[in-house]
């Protein structure tokens, strides 16, 4: 039998705690945008504050290390499952053949998947590196952002200005009466 009084109160508590968590998350976000995110405050921060600033402003990527750990985990898991399949049977019989295939082909599939993911991460890292080099080349921190959706900032970053488009001179008409 379901006891509404017992479980209903825990659901009310969960809803209340969820609402409190939501309000605290909003407060933490506002405080982070005031005290951690602004670039002008970075110099006044300690070592941990600079770490938080760099983390919140995506100055480095942690996805690379996470993907590396997941790659090692998935490869080891695939090999171990294949190994344990050597000692199992199902309704078709011995699963050792499938286990050997899994131990051989599994790590290859995992590697291909993670290499595709890492190609995307490395492309982003290279774009960030190019952006930083362009900022340093111009000598100021207020260099144009090459990630801007309109292409004028990209042209400014490379020092190319668009010339105003002028109408082409009219071609002389040929006179057939000559």
> Per-residue pLDDT tens for 40-83?
888 888 899 888 888 888 877 888 899 999 999 999 999 999 99
Do 56 and 99 belong together in one domain? no
| Residue 43 structure tokens | 């110099």
What is the pTM assigned to this prediction?
A: 0.56
At residue 59, the pLDDT reads 79
Do 75 and 147 belong together in one domain? yes
Domain presence at residue 144: yes
Do 93 and 150 belong together in one domain? yes
Domain presence at residue 1: no
Do 111 and 69 belong together in one domain? yes
Range of the domain at 51: 14-60
Rounded average pLDDT over 156-161: 53
The answer for residues whose C-beta is within 8 angstroms of residue 56's C-beta and 6 or more apart is 32, 36, 37
The answer for residues whose C-beta is within 8 angstroms of residue 151's C-beta and 6 or more apart is none
Q: Considering just the CA atoms, what is the radius of gyration of the chain in Å?
A: 30
């Amino acid at each position: 039998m379901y006891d509404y009084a017992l479980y209903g109160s825990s659901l009310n508590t969960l809803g209340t705690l969820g609402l409190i968590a939501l309000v605290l998350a909003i407060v933490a976000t506002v405080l982070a945008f005031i005290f951690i995110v602004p670039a002008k405050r970075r110099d006044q921060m300690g070592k941990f504050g600079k770490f938080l600033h760099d983390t919140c402003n995506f100055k480095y990527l942690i996805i690379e290390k996470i993907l590396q750990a997941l790659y090692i985990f998935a490869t080891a898991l695939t090999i171990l499952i294949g190994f344990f399949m050597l000692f199992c049977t199902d309704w078709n019989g011995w699963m050792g053949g499938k286990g050997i295939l899994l131990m051989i082909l599994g790590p290859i599939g995992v590697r291909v998947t993670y290499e595709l993911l890492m190609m995307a991460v490395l492309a982003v890292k290279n774009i960030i590196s190019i952006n930083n080099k362009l900022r340093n080349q111009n000598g100021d921190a207020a260099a144009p952002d090459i990630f801007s959706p309109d292409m004028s900032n990209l042209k400014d970053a490379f020092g190319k200005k668009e010339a105003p488009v002028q109408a082409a001179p009219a071609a002389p008409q040929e006179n057939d009466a000559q």
